Amino acid sequence: MKLLKEMQYIIILLSILGGIFLFLSGIKIISTSFEKTVSKKFKTTLYKLTNNKIVGVLLGIMITGLLQSSSATTLLVVSLVHSNLINIYKAVPIIMGANIGTTITAQIVAIEIKNYAIYFLLAGFITMPFFKKESNKIIPRLLIGISLIFLGLDIVSNSIASTNSTKKLSLLIENIGTNDALGIFSGFLITAIIHSSSTGIAILQIMASSNIIPVRTSIPIMLGQNIGTCIDTLIGSLATNRTGKQAAFVHIIFNIIGVIIFYFFTDYLYNFVSIISPNNPSRQIANAHTLFNVITTLLLLPFSSTLVNISKKILKE
């Protein structure tokens, strides 16, 4: 009997990992479909567009929305700062915009189209041979990428739902739910390990929709995930010069300040998303994620130069 239970847990774990792999594969396909084209246009127009902070934020949102990775956008900006192709002060609004852009994934996850995912997958494979030009193949690749995202989430959802009755999981969630600081730390740790805040938030959405974890408990975890996503940028900046490292550190400072602010307003955030998206836990988490990044950007954008100066003081030559 014990062996049978252990085998069941192993199967569930493998199913969850398989679902996460499909989810990440979908994001990767979408990312690589845009990457070459976006990178060229991004580099050639970046210098002209970043004289305006608002335009810089919008550029960060657009690029991250296409690449489906705030880390990819931020690392690209850090590398450009390192190469003196863009001023560090002009880079900060783009990094802020990248944080908003990454919330698009959570909004997509909240859309209930998983029943049609297999049709998107088939459509992508069937139409692929009809697109002769490489640039036009982005359409079937997007269909395949989107379908893999939802198929992966469906697998993870079914796997996690089967663990609903486990005492250990319930106890862990109960402990996190009574301590916002523990929730933030848990979110940071999860994202630092899996290197994807989008995946971590998608799992939160699944668990909340399956009534495994309350939305109120999910919000501090989501806040911590925004700090955890800075790990990739920090690691990537180790290969850059001092200015590149300072740009990466601004990303960390931005998210930490945002989390500190929202730590004291978690209940207000939860109440607000409950009102604007009632009876939809997945959408509530997606909206909380979007609101966190949009409001933090609006609050800190006027002080972007101050954030750079703080970074320069911390990371002196």
Q: What is the pLDDT of residue 208?
A: 85
Write the pLDDT tens digit of every residue in 114-164. Answer: 666 677 778 878 888 777 776 667 778 777 777 776 677 667 666 665 555
Q: What is the pLDDT of residue 165?
A: 46
Distances 265 to 180, 246, 289 between C-alpha atoms, Å: 11, 29, 14
The reported pTM is: 0.75
Q: What is the pLDDT of residue 166?
A: 46
Following DSSP, what letter does each residue of 221-238 receive, concatenated?
A: HHHHHHHHTHHHHHHHHT
Q: List the chain residues with pLDDT less than 50.
A: 165-167
Q: What is the pLDDT of residue 261?
A: 94
Cα–Cα distance measured from residue 187 to residue 225, given in angstroms and rounded to the nearest whole number: 4
Q: What is the pLDDT of residue 297?
A: 94
